[in-house]
Structure 1
Amino acid sequence: MEKILVLLVVYMYHAFALCPNGFIRHEDSCYHILRIQATWAESRMYCHAYGANLVSIETRGENSFLTHYLTSVDDQFHTKRFWIGANDIAETGTYVWEGTQARLDSGFTNYYHGSPDNGGDDSEEHCMELTEDYNYQWNDNECDNKYYPICEKNGIETNLVIG
């Protein structure tokens, strides 16, 4: 009888990230699109209120996930423009991620053709957006425009026991 019980009780351990309500998980991160249009600076503050940062897109896989996710939910938003955490506010032409201060030129990028372009001669575009207009590739835009923030935070790692 004891051997049968041992054979029937099989444990599988799996570590994964738990996300708060309203956030969606991808790998070890949790994402939430706020349903309020805000400037880039306001968006940053709103994300911080959730214990998050504006999203830092660091890999092709993460970019692909976000593109598919935005495509699946973009009909729920008045405009299809979303703030991400990249900016060159401190030094024009040197884009960094808001949360880590890592330079974009040292990792994965997915700029729209010709971006970042600082809007040409008549503009000051220092904040990065994703927009349906550019197939959700990265585009610099004026930080005072009001778009939807995409927030990212680390998931809480937990071990799940299935048995």
Structure 2
Amino acid sequence: MPLNPGRLLMLAVLMVMLVPDEAARVVSGDDGGGALCAGQTVCVGGPQRPCYKMAYFQDVSSRVAFREAVQACEMDGGSLLSIQSPTEQRDIENLLGGISDGDFWIGLTRVDQTEPGNSFTSCPQLYQWTDGSVATFRNWYLDEPSCGGEACVVMYHQPTALPGLGGAYLYQWNDDRCNMKHNFICKYKPGESTNQLQPPETRQAAFLTPTYVKSPVCMLLLYIVIPTIPLLLLILVASGTSCFQRISRR
């Protein structure tokens, strides 16, 4: 699906924000302290486990649609988050602790029901991971997926919301319209993200001594830079219009 220039600019700036200003952080499987900082690469458990980056926007208007989230992760060398098992689900929950309200796109979407062989398939079975994973683990909220016009999946993250019939709106999955705007999480195959950031000897040493570093600066940059993009575009258009009018009068 083609993107208009404004959304392309948003993705370009988003890519800059996704690039961390320091090496990937490695946390042991038992480390539950702290929260994943936006734009920071975190690897859980060791070199054979995936790494993750979060794109979190406090300004709701700066969040992105499902397809934009997929493209942003692919442009950064990863893919929109797929969750393979209850263990990985718990890892993600631990990394998101302490973050304010805001659901996250994950890479699960419903395939076209008109495809051959799908005519007698129940709706929940039509959901597939965008990275090609065949994992069957699911963590749906009560009575989800509701299907209909909602074909893309978010992970609930609304810690301040009142619980519903299925409990708190926290970490369970819900199908949503693909053009809705949400945060998202990118996932990187073992070694891919850290290979770009650290030499082999440094990477090996990091896995031998797991650490977790809280770095609120990168999240503050997201809060400040991304929301100002519409204003910058407005100033640019106004300046161009003014220059054109001056030239036309000559």
Instruction: Please indicate the TM-score interval, normalised by the length of the shorter structure.
Output: 0.7 to 0.9
Q: Does 1:110 align with 2:139?
A: yes
More helix by share: 2
Q: Secondary structure at the match of 1:137?
A: strand
The one of 122, 129, 149 aligned to 1:124? 149
* TM, length-normalised to structure 1: 0.72
Structure 2 counterpart of 1:98: 130
Counterpart mapping for 1:125-140 below 5 A: 125-133=150-158, 134-140=169-175
Task: Identify unmatched segments of 5+ residues in structure 1.
Answer: 1-17
The one of 83, 104, 113 aligned to 1:57? 83
CA distance in 2, matches of 1:95, 1:140: 10
> With CA pairs under 8 Å and 6+ residues apart, which has the higher RCO, 1 or 2?
1
Contact 2:110 2:152 in 1 (8 A): yes
Shift of 1:22: 1.7
Runs of 4+ in 1 over 6 A off after TM superposition: none
The one of 88, 93, 97 aligned to 2:110? 88
Shift of 1:35: 3.5
**Range with greater deviation from structure 2 (125-134 or 144-153):** 125-134
Q: Secondary structure at the match of 2:93?
A: helix
Counterpart mapping for 1:1-163 below 5 A: 19=24, 22-27=40-45, 28-36=49-57, 37-72=63-98, 74-75=99-100, 79-91=101-113, 93=123, 94-102=126-134, 107-118=136-147, 123-133=148-158, 134-156=169-191, 160=204
Instruction: Give the letter aligned to residue 129 of structure 2.
Output: W
* TM, length-normalised to structure 2: 0.49
Instruction: Give the letter aligned to residue 68 of structure 2.
Output: E
The Cα offsets for residues 20-66 of structure 1, whole Å up to 9 and x where unpaired, read as 87211124111111135110000000001110110000110100111
CA distance in 1, matches of 2:112, 2:93: 28
Q: Between the two proteins, what is the percent identity of the paired residues?
A: 24
CA distance in 2, matches of 1:90, 1:67: 30
Contact 1:89 1:127 in 2 (8 A): no
CA distance in 2, matches of 1:113, 1:71: 22
More strand by share: 1
Contact 1:19 1:155 in 2 (8 A): no
**Range with greater deviation from structure 2 (52-61 or 90-99):** 90-99
Shift of 1:101: 4.9
Shift of 1:19: 4.2
Task: Identify unmatched segments of 5+ residues in structure 2.
Answer: 1-22, 26-38, 58-62, 114-121, 159-168, 209-250
CA distance in 2, matches of 1:110, 1:139: 9
Contact 2:104 2:157 in 1 (8 A): no
Instruction: Give the letter aligned to residue 137 of structure 2.
Output: F
Q: Secondary structure at the match of 2:73?
A: helix
